[in-house]
Amino acid sequence: EAGVTQFPSHSVIEKGQTVTLRCDPISGHDNLYWYRRVMGKEIKFLLHFVKESKQDESGMPNNRFLAERTGGTYSTLKVQPAELEDSGVYFCASTPNQVTEAFFGQGTRLTVV
């Protein structure tokens, strides 16, 4: 069974550019989460999808971040325009329901220069 996959694994972009991160959850997992880890700090919740609906997006830093999950399968997280403080590792996780452990992807390391 394929795990959670994220693309790209690394991205280096200039300040002001746009980047789109993709997450493919484990097939059949309705719950999809985005997290971010800035260097030296804890993993922070960004948002939670149940199928295609945003269940909780209280962790999204600002309106430069846009997450979508069309069709309830894969999800994208777009940062536009990117700022230096957006650098970090963006993790995606999926679960079949809300009472089991989350399976994490390898993460996308975003560097904004």
Q: Which residues bind another protein (CB under 8 A)?
A: 4, 33, 35, 41-45, 48, 55-56, 59, 91, 98-107
Question: Cα dist. 25→5, 13, 15, 81 in Å?
Answer: 7, 25, 29, 26
Rounded to the nearest whole angstrom, what is the least distance from the CB of residue 83 to another protein in the complex?
A: 23
Instruction: Please say which residue, 14 or 41, places its beta carbon nearer to another protein.
Output: 41
Instruction: Please say which residue, 7 or 17, places its beta carbon nearer to another protein.
Output: 7
Rounded to the nearest whole angstrom, what is the least distance from the CB of residue 15 to another protein in the complex?
A: 24
Rounded to the nearest whole angstrom, what is the least distance from the CB of residue 62 to another protein in the complex?
A: 19
Beta strands in 8-100 (DSSP E): 10-13, 19-24, 31-37, 43-50, 53-56, 65-68, 75-79, 88-95
Rounded Cα distance between 50 and 55, Å, is 6
